Amino acid sequence: MNAPILVTGGTGTIGRHVVPLLRAAGHPVRVLSRRGGGPGDDITHVTADLLTGADLEPAVRGVSTVLHLAGGAKGDDRATANLVGAARRAGVTHLTHISVTGADRVPLAWTRSKLDAERAVVDSGIPWTVLRATQVHDLVLSMLAAMTRLPVVPVPGGLRLQPVDAAEVAARLAELTLGEPAGLVPDLAGPETYGIGELLTGYLAASGKRRARLPVRIPGRAGRAYREGANLARPGAATGVRTWAAFLAERAPSRPVA
Ligand SMILES: NC(=O)c1ccc[n+]([C@@H]2O[C@H](COP(=O)([O-])OP(=O)(O)OC[C@H]3O[C@@H](n4cnc5c(N)ncnc54)[C@H](OP(=O)(O)O)[C@@H]3O)[C@@H](O)[C@H]2O)c1
């Protein structure tokens, strides 16, 4: 029997798409998260907390390939350093990691933590692969849903996004995980770039809501970076196929987008 591939965060938005692909390629999969999940055919769930390191050593034991997706709002640098330490001790020979487009260019605490997480992987001594991706459609949808809970929606001027399909990110991650360690590979971004106002218009139309808008300016260096498109993929990035409009037409809460 093959050694299992450990997928941290395999119960998350992207992880849920990757796990079946690794299984379909014939590999047993061990999924690591804090809350666990229901087992499947040759899928086992282990619970561990990457932020504290609790229960991490046994979770990594007997594994040679790790796909690291677990992440949260804070502490991805620490979580990744903990994983890297345990993976090194377990003799892991390929560590694939997802990061975010612009991790090296947007000056926010969150992006700095993503960049430090990348550095932990790069400096681990374990052969590695890192893919940076833009925001997945599901995340953009939840962001717009949260924004429109307010009667007046603040709309940051100059903010653009390049939403990409979670299943396409997952397919690329599966390919990279099953391949040879490749270092920092070209980013994966969505096929189109939209202003935040445009995304909001589409979302409101699709959900049948009406909202007043309040233009706001993101302050400081981070605001400048966003207005300059530091969160968007550079030329040469790979682009997905499924558009935001196609995703929204299927997923929007009430009526589809025309
Ligand atoms: N979503 C995007 O648009 C996007 C774009 C680019 C990069 N990324 C990166 O891709 C990764 C996955 O994103 P996602 O959207 O799939 O995330 P998600 O839906 O929020 O899922 C996060 C996963 O990580 C697990 N997790 C979180 N904290 C953990 C901890 N301390 N210890 C162990 N497991 C933990 C969660 O399970 P439990 O809660 O049960 O622990 C869950 O399985 C993240 O690193 C994210 O920064 C995401």
Q: Is 19 in the pocket of ligand 1 (CB under 6 A)?
A: no
**Distance (Å) from CA 213 to ligand 1 centroid:** 31
Distance 40 CA to ligand 1 centre (A): 20
**Quick check: CB of 169 below 6 Å from ligand 1?**
no
- Three-state helix/strand/coil letters over the chain: CCCCEEEECCCCCCHHHHHHHHHHCCCCEEEEECCCCCCECCEEEEECECCCCECHHHHHCCCCEEEECCCCCCCHHHHHHHHHHHHHHHCCCEEEEEEECCCCCCCCHHHHHHHHHHHHHHCCCCCEEEEEECCEHHHHHHHHHHHCCCCEEEEECCCEECCECHHHHHHHHHHHHHCCCCEECCCEECCCCEEHHHHHHHHHHHHCCCCEEEEECCCHHHHHHHHCCCCCCCCCCEECCCCHHHHHHHHCCCCCCC
How far does the centroid of ligand 1 lie from the alpha carbon of residue 8, in Å? 8
Mean residue pLDDT of the chain comes to 95
Neighbours of 179 (CB within 10 A): 12
Residue in 25, 59, 231 with CA at minimum distance from that of residue 139: 231
Atom of ligand 1 at shortest range from CA of 52: 31
Over residues 223-238, the pLDDT tens digits come to 999 999 999 999 999 9
Quick check: CB of 210 below 6 Å from ligand 1?
no
- pLDDT tens digits for range 66-92: 999 999 999 999 999 999 999 999 999
Mean local confidence (pLDDT), 4-11: 98
Phi, psi of 147 (to 5 degrees): -60, -35
Which among 40, 28, 32 has a CA at the least distance from the CA of 7? 32
Give CA 234 to chain center in angstroms: 18
11 lines ligand 1 (CB under 6 A): yes
Q: Which atom of ligand 1 is nearest to the CA of 10?
A: 43
**Res 256 pLDDT > 90:** no
pLDDT at 41: 87
Q: Model confidence at 177, in pLDDT bands (50, 70, 90)? A: very high
Q: Confirm or reject: Cβ of 167 under 6 Å from ligand 1.
A: no
Average pLDDT over residues 114-128: 98
Mean per-residue pLDDT, 200-227: 96
- Indicate if ligand 1 lies below 6 Å from the C-beta of 135: yes
Angstrom distance (rounded) from CA 192 to CA 160 = 10
* Burial (0-12, 13-18, 19+ Cβ within 10 Å), 118: buried
